[in-house]
Structure 1
Amino acid sequence: MKKILSISVIFLTFFLLGAGYFFSSSIVSFPITSLEEDKAKLKILSIADFGLPTPESVRFQNGSLRLRGWYFKNPKKKKCGVVLLHGHTRTRYGILKYAPLFWKRGCSLFAYDARHHGESAGEYGTYGFYEKHDLERAIEFFSEISTVPEEQIGIFGASFGAATALQYAEGRNDYAFVIADSPFMDMRSIVEKRAADLYSPLVLFLSPIALSIAELRADFLVDEVSPKRAAKFISQPVLLIHSKFDEITPSFHSEEIFQNLRSNHKQLFVTDWGASHCKSIDLRYEEYESIVNTFLKEDTSFPK
C-alpha cells in the first residue's frame, strides 16, 4: 500500500510539474506573430490607410536586447511626440489605428515591437516587468532622433501596452502623460482569468505552479507586475479608457487602477458603446478622439 501511495505521489508530482511547465510556456513563451501575419489579421493594406507617411525603420538596444520599430517624423515639426505601445501577441501594426489622434496634432510618433513580439528579440514576454525598462530606452532613443524633449513625449498603450506604460510611469516625471486603453490591473489576475476562459476554471489549481515556473524561466516576479500598485506612485497626467463590454479584461481593472492613482490630473472613461477589447475607437472614432482631446487640453501642457 505504501509503495502504491509513493508511486501515486511521484506520478502526481511529475504530472503537475509537466502541466505547469506547459502552461508556463503559454504565459511567457507564447508564439510570436510576424509583422506580415499581424498586418493580414488586421486587414491593413498600407500604413497610408492611417494618413501616415512611410516611416523610418529603426532598431535600438536595451543592453543586449535588440528592438525594432518605426519612427514617423511629423513635417509640422512641433516639439511633441508620442510612443505607441501595442497589445499582447500583436505587433506595431496593431497600434497604428490610434496614430491619427496625435499625428494630426503635429506630433512625431514612435512605435516598436515589444520584446518577444514581432521583429524584436527576447526569449520571453514578462507583461511589463522588463518591458517598462525597454520603454525607458525607447523614449530616450526617440528623444535623441527627434530632438523632442522627453518631458514632451506622451505614452499611449493598448491592453498589455497600456499596462506597460503605467508600470513605467511609477515614480517618474520625465514624460508628458499616459493614455491607457484597456489595461489589466495585475499579471496574476489576468493570467488566471484568461486560463479559465480558454480552458476551464478547473485549471486554476495549476496557475500557482505555472506562474512559479514562468518566474524561474524568465527570471522575474509575477507579483511585481501590477499597474494597480504602480498607480499609487504616478503623479503625471493619466487617462484610462475601457469598454464596459470588454470580455477579455473587465473594465473593473481600470476602475481599480483609477482609484489608486496618485495623480491630480486623471480621468477614467468606461464606454458603453458595446465595444469588445480595445475596440472602442473602432466603433466611435470621433467620440474617442474627443475624449483624448479633452484630456490633453484640460490635464496636460501638451501642444494643442
Structure 2
Amino acid sequence: MKKIFSIFIIFLTFFLLGAGYYFSSSIISFPVSNLEEDKTKLNINSFTDFGLPEPESVRFQNGSLRLRGWYFKNPKKKKCGVVLLHGHGRTRYGVLKYAPLFWKRGCSLFTYDARRHGESAGEYGTYGYYEKHDLERAMEFFSEISTVPEEEIGIFGASFGAATALQYAEGRSDFAFVIADSPFMDMRSIVEKRAVDIYSPLVLFLSPVALSIAEVRADFLVDEVSPKKAAKFISIPVLLIHSKEDEVTPVAHSEEIFQNLKSNRKQLMVTDWGALHCKSIDTRFTEYESIVNSFLKEKTTFPK
C-alpha cells in the first residue's frame, strides 16, 4: 500500500506541475492579435473613421525592450496630450475609438502596443507589473517628441490598459489624470475568474500552482499586480467607468478600486446601458463623452 500511495503522490505531483505549466502559459504567453488581424476584427477601415490623420509610426526602448506605437500630432497645437492604452490581447487599434474624446479638445495623442502585443517585443505579459515601467518610458518619450510637459499629459486605459494606468499612478503626481474603463482590481482574481469562465470551477485547484510557475517564468510577483492596492496611494484625479452588465470583469472590481482611492478628485460612473466589456462608448458615445468632459472640467485643470 505504501508503494502504491507513493506512486500516486509522484503521479499527482507530476500531473499538477505539468498542468500548472500549461495553465501558466495561457496566463503569461497568451495568444495576441497582430495589427492587421485586430484592424479586421474591429472593422476599421482607416484612421479617418475616428477623425484622425495618418499618425507618425514610432518606436522607443525601455531598456532592451522595443515598443512600437503611433503619434498623432494635433494641428491645434494645444499643450495637452493623452496616452491611450489598449486591452489584453489586443493592439493599439483597440483604443482608437476613444481618440475623438481628446482629439477634438486639441490634444495630441500617443498609443502603443504593450509588451508581447502587436508589433512590440516581449516574451511574457505581466498584467501591469512590468508594463507600468514601459508606460513610464512612453510618457517620457511622448513628452519629448510632442514638447507637451508630462504634467499636461493624461492617461486613458481600457481593461488591462486601465489596470496598468492605475498601477503606474501609484504615488505619482507628475501627470494630469487617469481615466480607467473596466479595470480589474488584481491579477489573481481576474485570472481565476476567466479560468472559471473558460473551463470550470474545478480549475481553481490548479491556479495557485499555475500562478507560482508563471511568477518564476516571467520573474514577477502576482500579488504585486493590484490596482486595488495601488489605489491607496493615488492622489491624482481618477475617473472609473464600468458597465453594470460587464461579463468579463465584474463591476465590483471598479467599485473596490474606487473605495480604496486616496484621491479626493475621484469619480465612479457605472453605466446601465446594457453594454458588454469596454463597450459603453460604443453603446452611447454622446453620453460617454459627456461623462469624460464633466470629469475633466470638474476634477482636473486639463485644457478645455
Equivalent residue, structure 2, for 1:284 = 284
Unmatched tracts of structure 2, length 5 or more: none
Q: CA deviation at 1:4?
A: 1.3
The 1-side partners of 2:32 and 2:181 are apart by 22
Give the distance between the partners of 1:47 and 1:219, measured in 2 at CA: 37
Name the counterpart of 2:257.
Answer: 257
Cα deviation, residue 7, structure 1:
1.0
**Which residue does the alignment assign to 2:12?**
12
Report the alpha carbon displacement of residue 33 of structure 1 after superposing the two structures with TM. Answer: 1.1
Structure 1 stretch displaced more, 6-15 or 136-145: 6-15
Report the counterpart of residue 71 of structure 2 in structure 1.
Answer: 71
Query: What is the Cα deviation at residue 2 of structure 1?
Result: 1.5
Partner secondary structure for residue 204 of structure 2: helix
Query: 1:276 corresponds to which letter in structure 2?
Result: L
Calculate the aligned-residue CA RMSD, in Å. Answer: 0.4
Deviations, residues 235-269 of structure 1 (Å, cap 9, x unaligned): 00000000000000000100000000010100000
Amino acid of the structure 2 residue aligned with 1:191 = V
Equivalent runs, 1:160-171 vs 2, <5 Å: 160-171=160-171
**TM-score normalized by the length of structure 2:** 1.00
List aligned pairs for 1:38-117, cutoff 5 A: 38-117=38-117
Give, as a single letter, the amino acid of the residue that structure 1 aligns with 2:36.
E
What is the deviation of 1:137?
0.2
Percent identity, aligned pairs only, is: 86
User: Residues 117-151 of structure 1: CA distance to partner in whole angstroms, max 9, x if unpaired?
Assistant: 00000000000000000000000000000000000
Measured in 1, the distance between the counterparts of 2:65 and 2:56 equals: 20
Structure 1 segments of 4 or more deviating over 6 A? none
SS at match of 2:155: strand
User: Which whole-Å CA distance do the structure 2 matches of 1:212 and 1:28 have between them?
Assistant: 12
Following the alignment from structure 1 to structure 2, what is the Cα–Cα distance between the partners of residues 162 and 222?
Answer: 17
Q: Deviation at 1:5?
A: 1.2
Work out the CA distance in 2 between the residues paired with 1:175 and 1:61: 21
SS at match of 2:206: helix
- Encode CA deviations 1:185-236: one digit per residue, 9 max, x unaligned: 0000000000000000000000000000000000000000000000000000
Q: CA deviation at 1:37?
A: 0.5
Hey, what's the Cα distance between the residues in 2 that align with 1:257 and 1:169?
13
Counterpart Cα distance in 1 of 2:5 and 2:258:
51
SS of aligned partner of 2:121 = coil
Superposed, which structure 2 residues align to 1:1-304 within 5 Å? 1-304=1-304
**Whole-angstrom distance in 2 between the partners of 1:39 and 1:14:** 42
Q: CA deviation at 1:3?
A: 1.5
User: What amino acid does structure 2 have at the position aligned with 1:67?
Assistant: L
Which residue type is aligned with residue 103 of structure 1?
W
Give distance in 2, aligned partners of 1:11 and 1:205.
16
Count residues in correspondence.
304
Q: TM-score scaled to structure 1, two decimals? A: 1.00
CA–CA distance in structure 2, aligned partners of residues 266 and 2 of structure 1: 61
